[in-house]
A and B are shown apart, each in its own frame.
Chain A
Amino acid sequence: MRTIGYERPETLDAAIAAYSGSGSGSRYIAGGTTLYDLMKLGVETPTHLIDITAIANLDRIETEGDVTRFGTMALMSDVAETPAIRTEYPVLSESLLKAASQQLRNMATVGGNLLQRTRCPYFRAGNGVYPCNKRQPGSGCAALGGLDRSQAVLGASGSCNAVSPGDWPVALLALDARVEIIGIDGQRTLPLDGLYRLPAERPEADHNLNPGDIIIGITVPKTAAGRASTYHKIRDRESFAFALASAAVAMEIEGAVVRDVRIALGGVATLPWRARQAESVIVGRTLTRELAVEAGRAAFQDARPGRHNRFKIDLGVQVVADALMIAAGRNVR
């Protein structure tokens, strides 16, 4: 039986010092909904837990300034139900309300959500039942050529096709969010699309954080595209399920012409996926259903299906088209 250490520092400096002092078996824990789950599966085997939930002022939601800022420890449910977020950024609110269950949204933090790990069944099987390059580097990938209905059609490599599971990071990506990080070497910020890694090399590393780093906040620049936005998510059942295909769309229409549009995809790729080819189909033109479908096709033009997930391409095209039409319907000028 493995024993485990636990401590609850009250400052960021103390948390980072605790990490430095306790070695590579340490993990920060906040809501714990991913980490503790994976500990029970034997996928995560930390020797020391550093609980960062006692650190003050990390849960603020700031909607007043030039950027909207979410403290890392803000709960998913609190961000989703902030009135200014519901009206100014429906894409953000919807991405949270369509994720998990109300109990989990009361536990999980918006910072921790960025680091949620894949739901690939071969990864979660744990205990060496199936090879998995994310769980045990170099062991192989049972999902490639296996039961791959839920796996990625975009961004996969010859060593991993695990889907990035989140909804919130997809919505943030569409709004060009940035992530504030503090670590052993001080503080820095990263664009959200610089946080995640394709599985081409080192598929065990989901992200570009260094050991000891803590995400302390997320910033979203204010944009006129925020209001005409939506998070459209299709799943096996209508609530409490991961996306088969989802799209975050935010747009700004002037006259009849689309001036600005951002499209990001979830449930279909190995990381939150910005669909810039689809965006370029639409910018400067008048949105029609036909054009929306054309944009959807552009979003999936490089998709490579496996044995059982080809349906995600047709589904994804329609999800992008529907999301564009929903967002356009919210454009009030």
Chain B
Amino acid sequence: MTDSPECAAGGIAVTRRVVLGAGASAVAGPALLKGHHVHAQPVPTPSGIENPLLLSFTVNGSSLELDIDARASLLDVLRERLGLTGTKKGCDHGQCGACTVHIDGRTRLSCLTLAAKMNGRQLTTIEGLSDGDTLHPMQTAFVDHDALQCGYCTPGQIMSAVACVRQGYASSPESIRDFMSGNICRCGAYVGIVAAVAAANSSEG
């Protein structure tokens, strides 16, 4: 568990992710955080999947196999089966960007990605960006520039922001805004988001 404890009850450290993960998959979730290398981690299959498909892919550096429903989205597999709830479900139709992840190093929308198509591919989620307790520079920039209000869109914003810098589109506010237009923030924290991306870009450059 890489989260720092948010409260301690009766000497037992309780973290936000443990609470969120309870009932979903406290088994697989924590192991898929970066820094924990588990190979071919078995994930229990819920009852009631007809004609399951065996999916084998790499999540935040860990090889993984599980049986999935052929109709399932990558987003639902991440959240419901693997307990990786950092990736958010906003519109579920490719219009808001909250579910943005990196597949084979490129930003893609996990809500419109059929999980079955992930076979053999490399996935990075927001949980895979930090190095243990050390935040990714883009995460730090979002904190420093107050680039969020409610925070729901933030994981998707950060995944796109990392790609924006990596691909060289962070050279001007206009270019950042255009590149980031697939990530909607209904709180309207855009000013902070653009500032965070620009700052992360100059500190990397």
Please give the residue numbers on chain A whose beta carbons come within 8 Å of chain B beta carbons, in ascending order: 2-6, 8, 29, 32-33, 36-37, 39-41, 49, 51, 53, 77, 100-104, 106-107, 237-240
Contact = CB atoms under 8 A, between A and B. Distances in A.
Contacts of B117: 8, 29, 32, 51, 53
Nearest to B109: A103
Contacts of B112: 32-33, 36-37, 104, 107
Contact of B182 (A51, A103, A237): A103
A271 to B, nearest CB: 23
Contact of A102 (B71, B114, B182): B182
B181 A103 contact: no
Given A6-B70, A37-B94, 19 more contacts: A6-B116, A32-B112, A32-B113, A36-B73, A36-B112, A40-B92, A49-B70, A77-B106, A101-B181, A102-B107, A103-B97, A103-B182, A104-B109, A104-B112, A104-B182, A106-B106, A107-B109, A239-B181, A240-B182
A36 B178 CA distance: 25
Interface of B (DSSP majority class): mixed
Contacts of B51: 3, 5
B124 interface: no
Interface residues of B, number: 29
A101 B108 contact: no
Contacts of A100: 182
Given A102-B182, A103-B107, A37 B93 contact: yes
| Closest 8 pairs between A and B when the two form their complex, measured CB to CB | A101-B182, A239-B181, A6-B70, A240-B181, A106-B106, A103-B107, A3-B50, A103-B109
11 contacts: A3-B71, A8-B116, A8-B119, A29-B117, A32-B117, A49-B114, A101-B97, A101-B181, A106-B108, A239-B181, A240-B181
Contacts of B108: 103, 106-107
A15 to B, nearest CB: 15
Interface string B42-54: 0000000011010
Max count, chain B CB within 10 A of own CB: residue among A36, A102, A238, A239? A102
